[in-house]
């Protein structure tokens, strides 16, 4: 089916770029609509040509903001024109849904990345399947990298983490290639980040990590989905205490990290 893909986030960082790489290989994409913007604009001719409207929900479908509501309106319009609709790779949280939007979502194929979003939708009578973030399913060739004890995600959201540690390496998902990041973490003992896709890179690399809660439940909800006992922190101030906790009870936590990584490797692709 001719697919128009909404919320093309590939320009944002290398994790998002991998998501779009996967989706454009998964669907017969005739065009994309840029994401990470304040208002949705699209080519009406491409919309008319498409048989299938796919919305990449990452980083978008949360809170009563203009963009998620506009994307829900896109689903309504597409269904009025007899098109197939899909909402995939999505978080879903804190959106006040109208009856029209609920009806459109009930007629849409939906894949959430974690169980809390799935339950939120279910509370509104909306069914969904569950698949990991699409970045996880892109193969990453092994490259030899230096061994490191600690790596910290270096970006604007992680400010202050590095002040709590010495002797560490860094990765930056806004500046570095996904393959470089994954291979760096394959050779690290521990990773600390507040970025969801950096957390996924760590999972791909099977590198234990501490994640700082973001603006949605998407990171910590992965632990609920996999039914693992892995701590997360609500603020950067809690990172040092969490690190000590993990190191103190490392044998137990190592089993939980391996349980998570093993479970993820067994999950079906979207």
Instruction: Give residue-wise pLDDT tens across range 117-162.
Output: 999 999 999 999 999 999 999 999 999 999 999 999 986 555 667 7
Considering the domain architecture, whether residues 99 and 201 belong to the same structural domain is answered as no
Query: The domain containing residue 260 runs over which residues?
Result: 140-265
**Distance between CA atoms of 84 and 86, rounded to whole angstroms?**
7
Does residue 42 fall inside a structural domain?
A: yes
Residues 30, 151: one domain?
no
- pLDDT at residue 164, rounded to an integer: 73
CATH number where 202 lies: 3.40.50.2000
Number of domains in the chain: 2
Instruction: List the one residue out of 117, 141, 139 whose CA is nearest residue 130.
Output: 117
Sheet holding 148-153, edge to edge: 169-171, 148-153, 188-193, 209-211
What pLDDT, on the 0 to 100 scale, is given for residue 129? 98
User: Are 101 and 155 found together in one domain?
Assistant: no
Q: Which one, of 202, 146, 155, lies nearest residue 178 by Cα?
A: 202
Same domain? 207 vs 248: yes
The answer on 126 and 13 residing in a single domain is: yes
Beta strands at 109-112 and 129-130: parallel, antiparallel or unpaired: parallel
Tell me: do 130 and 194 sit in the same domain. no
Residue 112's pLDDT is: 98
Which of 136, 156, 175 marks a domain boundary?
Answer: 136
Question: Do 157 and 127 sit in the same domain of this protein?
Answer: no
| CATH code for the domain of 8 | 3.40.50
Q: What is the pLDDT along the chain (270 residues), one digit of tens a residue?
A: 999 999 999 999 999 999 999 999 999 999 999 998 888 999 999 999 999 999 999 989 999 999 999 999 999 999 999 999 999 999 999 999 999 999 999 999 999 999 999 999 999 999 999 999 999 999 999 999 999 999 999 865 556 677 777 789 999 999 999 999 999 999 999 999 999 999 999 999 999 999 999 899 999 999 999 999 999 999 888 999 999 999 999 999 999 999 999 999 999 999
Output the pLDDT for position 174.
Answer: 94
Domain shared by 217 and 101, yes or no: no
pLDDT score for 167: 81
Cα→Cα distances 116→3, 14, 85, 128, 130, Å:
28, 25, 22, 11, 11
Predicted local confidence at residue 159, as pLDDT: 61
Of 136, 159, 188, which marks where a domain is finished? 136
| Residues 181 and 229 grouped into a single domain | yes
pLDDT of residue 151: 95
Residues 50, 157 within the same domain: no
CB 131 within 8 A of CB 113: yes
**Half-sphere exposure for 178 (CA within 13 Å, toward CB):** 25
Claim to verify: residue 132 and residue 165 sit in the same structural domain: no
CA distance readout (Å), 240 to 179, 223, 251: 28, 20, 19
Q: Are residues 86 and 126 in the same domain?
A: yes
What are the residues whose beta carbons fall under 8 Å from the beta carbon of 75, sequence distance 6 or more? 53, 55, 85, 87, 101, 104, 105, 108
Model pTM?
Answer: 0.95
Q: For residue 270, is it within any domain?
A: no
What distance in Å separates the CA atoms of residue 164 and residue 161, rounded to the nearest whole number? 6
What residues pair up with 4 in beta bridges, in sequence order? 31, 53
Pick from 88, 107, 136: which residue ends a domain? 136
């Amino acid at each position: 089916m001719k697919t128009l893909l909404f919320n093309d986030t590939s320009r944002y960082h290398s994790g998002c770029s991998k998501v779009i790489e996967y989706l454009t290989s998964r669907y017969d994409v005739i065009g994309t609509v840029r994401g990470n913007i304040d208002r949705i604009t699209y080519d009406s001719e491409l919309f008319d040509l498409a048989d299938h409207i796919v919305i990449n929900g990452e980083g978008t479908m949360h809170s009563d903001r203009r963009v998620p509501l506009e994307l829900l309106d896109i689903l309504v319009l597409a269904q009025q024109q007899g098109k197939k609709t899909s909402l995939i790779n999505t978080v879903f949280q804190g959106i006040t849904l109208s009856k029209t939007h609920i009806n459109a979502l009930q007629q849409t194929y939906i894949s959430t990345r974690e169980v809390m979003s799935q339950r939120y939708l279910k509370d509104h009578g909306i069914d969904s399947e569950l698949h990991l973030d699409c970045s996880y399913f892109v193969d990453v060739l092994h490259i030899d990298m230096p061994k490191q004890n600690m790596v910290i995600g270096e970006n604007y959201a992680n400010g202050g983490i590095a002040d709590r540690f010495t002797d560490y390496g860094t990765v930056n998902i806004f500046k570095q290639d996904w393959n470089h990041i994954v291979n760096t973490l394959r050779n690290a003992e521990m990773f600390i980040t507040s970025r969801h896709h950096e957390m996924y890179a760590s999972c791909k690399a099977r590198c234990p990590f501490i994640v700082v809660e973001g603006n949605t439940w998407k990171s910590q909800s992965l632990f609920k989905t996999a039914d693992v006992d892995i701590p997360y922190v609500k603020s950067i101030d809690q990172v040092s205490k969490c690190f000590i906790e993990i190191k103190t009870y490392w044998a137990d936590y190592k089993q939980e990290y391996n349980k998570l990584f093993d479970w993820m490797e067994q999950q079906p692709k979207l």
